[in-house]
Chains A and B, each alone.
Chain A
Amino acid sequence: MADKLNKNDALFQFLLRLGDNTLVLGHRVSEWCGHSPVLEEDIALANTALDMIGQTQFWLGLAGEVEGKGRTADNLAFLRDVWDFRNLLLVEQPNGDFGQTMMRQFLFDAWHSIMLGRLMKSSDQRIADIAEKASKEVAYHLERSADTVVGLGDGTEESHAKMQTALDLLWPYIGEMFVGDEVDAEMVKAGVAPDPASLRDEYDALVGRVLADATLAIPDSKFAHKGGKTGMRHSEHLGHILTQMQWLQRAYPGATW
């Protein structure tokens, strides 16, 4: 980039990353509504999705405020195109089977809970307040997704095999969580957010403990798919999500109820 990133732009980008993670994963999880293996899981997934969409309203609402161009959380969610999204590649991956959905949820919740814990000490009080609120909900998500990963991983031969396949499939999307760029550097300098790499040890310890209980083997490869949080290279799946998520506002601009 030729132009130096100013602090306000960096803050806007950083907030989009937080809000787009919860928006895209919230939407993904909501796709299970009415399709889960049992009613209790259906309700649990819908509630988890609801929490994430609620958190999105805070993050994207603040992003719009910081940007200062009058865009609301709804404008940002429904009127941006793929290349303007800043979510991790992990959260836009398809649901797959129930086990794959819960593995994706666990891998995200673990990172999310650690990140929010750090953000509660942000120099930006608005961010600290949202993180405090969200972290209570995410602690609950993590408890459930970790329990489910252990239950299915250390379950039957078939459930174990499915969970190992899910882990092998999703593990290459973990690395992106810990790669910093100029936006992160600016946030670290301003005391707004931690260096993403500094979350890795705590993440590995937490995830390692749960996956060991689940009798699952962490893949050896350090290969990491990247390009979601920078918006440079989303997977093809994001476009398909947006066609579903945005069609109403695209077809009937400004529609309300």
Chain B
Amino acid sequence: MSKPSLKQVWEWLDAVPDPEIPVISLVDLGIIRDVDWQEDTLCVTVTPTYSGCPATSIINLDIETALRDHGVEKLELKRQLSPAWTTDWLTDKGREKLEKYGIAPPQPAGGPKRCPLCGGTDLEKISQFGSTPCKAHWRCRACAEPFDYFKCI
């Protein structure tokens, strides 16, 4: 096959869902740091969200599976720790999708802006940690529903 363009590869990766929050893609999550052809080998550089995130190995597997399905034969996955992943790298599209899905997107102020369910702003933190390493647990006092907040780091 001829080498697909880098733009094409980014589009393919943007169709690979995050295994734990499938509403956003790996590109939305901001963990794909670089895509590059080194002669006939496609190098994809990935950074982990959290050191112990159990999804890391699944993510690598999903990237490999997706690109192989699109006919990429020679593939190298590189791990990059620095600069450390930050929620600033979440795409705007990703933030919108998170909120629609019921997860409040990260805010520089350190807490959710509004309840992703009813839009209420009278909120309280239940726990600094949540159902995955990247989330905290909050509650809306207006609708009384608990919700996930994507931690800002």
Residue ranges of A at the interface with B (Cβ–Cβ < 8 Å): 40-41, 43-44, 46-48, 50-55, 57-58, 128-130, 132-134, 136-137, 140, 143-144
Q: How far is the CA of A53 from the CA of B51 in the complex (A)?
A: 8
Main SS of the interface on chain B?
loop
| Complex interface: chain A residues within 8 A of B130 (CB) | 43
Give the residue of B53, B128, B137 whose beta carbon is less than 8 angstroms from that of A54: B53
Q: How far is the CA of A134 from the CA of B52 in the complex (A)?
A: 10
Contacts A43-B129, A48-B129, A133-B48 known; 17 new A-B pairs at CB < 8 A = A40-B126, A40-B129, A43-B130, A43-B131, A44-B128, A44-B129, A50-B50, A51-B51, A51-B52, A51-B133, A52-B52, A129-B81, A129-B82, A133-B81, A134-B51, A136-B84, A137-B50
| Complex contact B84–A132 (CB within 8 A) | yes
Q: How far is the CA of A58 from the CA of B56 in the complex (A)?
A: 13
| Complex contact B128–A133 (CB within 8 A) | no
B15 contacts the other chain (Cβ, under 8 Å)?
A: no
| Complex contact B51–A137 (CB within 8 A) | yes
Give the residue of A47, A58, A134 whose beta carbon is less than 8 angstroms from that of B133: A47
| Complex contact B137–A51 (CB within 8 A) | no
| Complex interface: chain B residues within 8 A of A46 (CB) | 129
Nearest residue (CB) in B for A44 is: B129
Residue ranges of B at the interface with A (Cβ–Cβ < 8 Å): 48, 50-54, 81-85, 126-131, 133, 137, 151, 153
Nearest Cβ distance between residue B5 and chain A, in whole angstroms? 31
| Complex interface: chain A residues within 8 A of B131 (CB) | 43
| Complex contact A54–B129 (CB within 8 A) | no
| Complex contact B52–A50 (CB within 8 A) | yes
| Complex contact A44–B127 (CB within 8 A) | yes
Q: How far is the CA of A144 from the CA of B151 in the complex (A)?
A: 14
| Complex contact A57–B129 (CB within 8 A) | no
| Complex interface: chain A residues within 8 A of B151 (CB) | 140
Q: How far is the CA of A50 from the CA of B153 in the complex (A)?
A: 17
Q: How far is the CA of A153 from the CA of B53 in the complex (A)?
A: 32
Name 18 A/B residue pairs within 8 A (Cβ), A-sorted.
A40-B126, A41-B127, A43-B130, A43-B137, A44-B129, A48-B129, A51-B52, A52-B52, A54-B48, A54-B51, A54-B52, A57-B52, A58-B51, A58-B81, A128-B82, A130-B81, A137-B50, A140-B151
